[in-house]
Amino acid sequence: MKKVVKFGGSSLANAKQFKKAADIVRAEKSRKYVVPSAPGKRNDKDEKVTDLLYQCYDLAAEGSAYNKVFAKIKERFSEIVEGLELNMNLAYEFDRIEENFRKKAGRDYAASRGEYLNGLIMAEYLGYKFIDAAEVISFDENGVFDSEKTNTELRERLEHEDRAVIPGFYGAMPDGRVKTFSRGGSDITGSIVARAVHADLYENWTDVSGVLVADPHIVPDPQVIDAITYSELRELSYMGASVLHEESIFPVRKEGIPIHIRNTNRPKDRGTLIVESTCRKPRYVITGIAGKRGFCSVTVEKAMMNAEVGFCRKVLSVFEKYGISIEHMPSGIDTMTIFVHQSDFEEYEQSVIAGIHRAVDPDFVEMEADLALIAVVGRGMKAARGTAGRIFSALAHARINVKMIDQGSSERNIIIGVKDADFEAAIKAIYDIFVTVEL
């Protein structure tokens, strides 16, 4: 069996956590390839190393004093090296990083150094081969990840390495400049490596015991999801669930490789298995609940609009003109409602309204601000009767007014719109009706 293991920032925040991660790797010979993140927070008042690197680079780039921040960064890594009792000197690496900061090598380069240095330390501690991600993870000249070139180069490189550490989060452009994925991108690197080596399993080690049914900041001690499909997780990730970077699903999905979310601090916990499909019956009708705040809606009403060819296209072209992406678009016979991110829309709201009037001559246009969208996701909903009715019942009992409900054609998700102020209460009500009553 061949496994790729990725450790998040909290799993590698200090020497103690490093030792836990190393014990996990050594516990199974199948854990052949390791993808580390940069050191995360050691406590609630601490700073992530990536944030310190951004801060340090910005100061250096503008010619301001950066020595204090750089000293903090050096201290974090020195503490890890000393705590692991390694005979390892990072002075050369720090000198090179400082020189590149002065040369304005770029914020992506700066941000990537946390993963790079943690990779060097992890490789030394495990006795694995270190492979710089900049040598094997490729982006094109436009900064777009080149999946096929990367897969070919990485596969050829790792064919000759039985065990290796590849830092997460970054790769390189054709000219050699370092390019990062979006925050949380080490998850993507782990998935890319798993695809390249045809791994049997991609283990993603973090600080929670799997994907939770709901946000623990909203629902106290929510249940862990035993098994979830790629599609279900994609829906939840898009709507705010943050255990795994949503883009990390695609590389392993191409190969049908399962992802196993595990807890570094509680390695005996079962975790959550993420798969293409499964015969496992879900424990509850729903798999999970997630949501986002900060939306507004634009409702366009016009009599007989359903008979007007191109009506929707003309309305949406106005939003496109101002670079505003559409989140959801429920419609009726004479109305259509467009949900957009309020922060993107506010600057252009009057221009958009005027544009809609010119484009389709509506009877009226109405806006509503401070809305939230909640996704209720689950493969079990397709076979269960009355799921939407139970949601309405739970929200009505909690005195929450539903602004919108939209069920996807897959019958795997239902999107509910509520006022921002009702967001947390709505999630609690839905959790209680589907999960708490079943416990």
* Average confidence (pLDDT) over 411-438: 92
Per residue in 313-356, pLDDT (tens digit) is 999 999 999 999 999 898 888 999 999 999 999 999 999 999 99
pLDDT value of position 122: 98
Q: Binning pLDDT at 50, 70 and 90, where does residue 430 land?
A: very high
Q: Which residues of the chain form CATH 3.30.2130.10?
A: 288-438
Q: Which helix (H) or strand (E) holds 321?
A: helix 311-321
* Average confidence (pLDDT) over 247-260: 90
> Which backbone phi and psi does 138 adopt, to 5 degrees?
-110, 140
Strand positions, DSSP E, 321-430? 335-341, 364-377, 404-407, 413-419
Mean pLDDT of the residues in the chain: 93
Residue range 3-207, CATH number? 3.40.1160.10
Does residue 64 surpass a pLDDT of 90? yes
Fold of 288-438: VC0802-like (3.30.2130)
pLDDT value of position 382: 77
Q: Binning pLDDT at 50, 70 and 90, where does residue 257 land?
A: very high
Q: Binning pLDDT at 50, 70 and 90, where does residue 387 land?
A: confident
DSSP assignment, residue 180? E
Q: Binning pLDDT at 50, 70 and 90, where does residue 409 land?
A: low
Does residue 306 surpass a pLDDT of 90? no
Does residue 439 surpass a pLDDT of 70? no
Does residue 410 surpass a pLDDT of 70? no
Tokens matching residue 415: 């999107």
* Average confidence (pLDDT) over 6-11: 96
Percent of the chain clearing pLDDT 70 (strictly above):
99
How many Å apart are CA 302 and CA 309, to the nearest integer? 13
> Which backbone phi and psi does 36 adopt, to 5 degrees?
-95, 150
Name the residue among 122, 435, 419 with its Cα closest to residue 294: 419
Strand partners, 224: 212
* Average confidence (pLDDT) over 67-73: 97
Predicted structure pTM score: 0.86
pLDDT value of position 235: 85
**134 to each of 174, 178, 367, how far by Cα in Å?**
10, 7, 47
Does residue 407 surpass a pLDDT of 90? no
* Average confidence (pLDDT) over 40-61: 95
pLDDT value of position 140: 96
pLDDT value of position 6: 97
Does residue 383 surpass a pLDDT of 80? no
Helical segments of 159-211, H only: 186-196
Q: Which residue has the higher pLDDT, 249 or 266?
A: 266
How many Å apart are CA 191 and CA 165, to the nearest integer? 14
User: Of the ranges 28-32, 46-50, 127-131, 246-250, which one carries the lowest mean pLDDT score?
Assistant: 246-250
